Structure 1
Amino acid sequence: MLIVTNDGDFAQKLSHPSSMLKKEYIAVIDGVVKTQHLVNISKGTVIEGMHCTPDSVELMPRQPDLKRPRLRIVVHEGRNHEVRELVKNAGLEIHSLKRMRIGGFRLPSDLGLGKYVELKQSDLRAMGWKG
């Protein structure tokens, strides 16, 4: 999910860790995910001198058409490469990573690769914007 805006205040609100907006990611993992990996991710890691822990981490049900396991990870700080660091420090490698939700705004499931949607006021409010 990439949000393009010319509103600096809005961009700051979305990206700065102090906003505490929950961000949900789907991480496609190379290799086998074991219970201990999930425990290690849940314990968190140190990023930029701060201990970061995810709000939640779960192994998603395996789908027959997908060969790799997927993790759903929710964070609220959104520090630089937070999800990648959490997964790496747990001993796993990310094959691909996709942000699915910011605050209450969820990426439409039918939005194709390279496609976009124009956000409505209700979408902005769902992301915590009051401006």
Structure 2
Amino acid sequence: MERLQKVIAHAGIASRRKAEQLIQEGKVRVNDKVIKELGVKVSPNDKIEVEGIPVEREEPVYFVLYKPRGVISSVSDDKGRKVVTDFFTLIDERIYPVGRLDYDTSGLIIMTNDGEFANSLAHPKSQVDKVYVAKVKGIPSREAIRSLERGIKLEDGKTAPAKIKFLSMERTKETAIFEVTIHEGRNRQVRRMFEAIGHPVMKLKRERYGFLTLQGLKSGEARELTPHEVKQLRVMATKPGK
């Protein structure tokens, strides 16, 4: 037996908080009976509907994918472009990405059908580090890099402090490569950070998510997470802010 709001969240319909709101608003039925009280528990045999739509429950699955460039972080695309779920044709479960990676950004992305797990990792309060390698145009000054490390003002507010590590540069081509560690998940954040200091990103790859890496994976390949890895990620997602 599991709490009703947890089952709804696991099905990927809404976050647990939103599920609680839907229940209180009388938009959830269990065995054709409207449920408005929180704390109700349901069994796998119970029929659950949210706003008239049946909830299909699946066993939770968790994967890490090495997303290639030129792939959309979505389950479908109205322009017919390749999406991350195209790499999981043998998976019966309806999985989706946790957060997003830009079309032109490659690297590590987590895939799951566990809505509560996905919401906890993608929540703004989540403090899980994400590590990128960025190749930028031009060679930023030390002061410009320090401004990123302190936090820089973007159109949607000031970023949290970042860790920036210089890796290499090519003076003849006027390019530099940096390792960037952030825990926020704003849209195109790393690209916008470097644009803000006048050094646009030419190539970007996410190499690490928390403790997860791309080790053993080639572009377009995926592997299933172990139960221990899933447990570790749950703990990391709910740790107090830094």
TM bin, normalised by shorter chain, reads 0.7 to 0.9
For residue 116 of structure 1, what is the amino acid of its counterpart? A
Listed as ranges, the gaps of 5+ residues in structure 2 are 1-107, 236-242
Structure 2 counterpart of 1:10, one-letter code: F
Q: How many residues align?
A: 126
Q: 2: distance between equivalents of 1:52 and 1:119?
A: 30
Letter in 2 for 1:105: L
Identity of aligned residues (%): 29
Q: 1:97 aligns with which of 179, 204, 215?
A: 204
Q: What is the rounded CA distance, in whole Å, between the counterparts of 2:202 and 2:209 in structure 1?
A: 22
Change (3 A) 1:73 1:54: farther
> More relative contact order in 1 or in 2 (CA 8 Å, sep 6+)?
1
Q: 5 Å matches for 1:59-78?
A: 59-61=166-168, 68-78=175-185
Structure-1 residue corresponding to 2:229: 123
Q: Is 2:16 aligned against 1:16?
A: no
Shift of 1:74: 0.8
Q: Give, in angstroms, the shift of residue 105 of structure 1.
A: 1.7
SS of residue paired to 2:221: coil
Which of structures 1 and 2 has the bigger CA Rg?
2
How far has the Cα of 1:76 moved from its partner? 1.5
Shift of 1:57: 0.7
Offset at 1:3?
1.6
- The answer on 1:111 being equivalent to 2:236 is no
Root-mean-square deviation (CA, aligned residues, Å) is 2.4
Tell me the SS of whatever aligns to 2:164. strand
**93-102 vs 26-35, greater mean Cα deviation:** 26-35
TM-score, normalised to structure 1, is 0.80
Counterparts of 1:94 and 1:49, CA distance in 2:
19
State the AA in 2 paired with 1:16. Answer: H
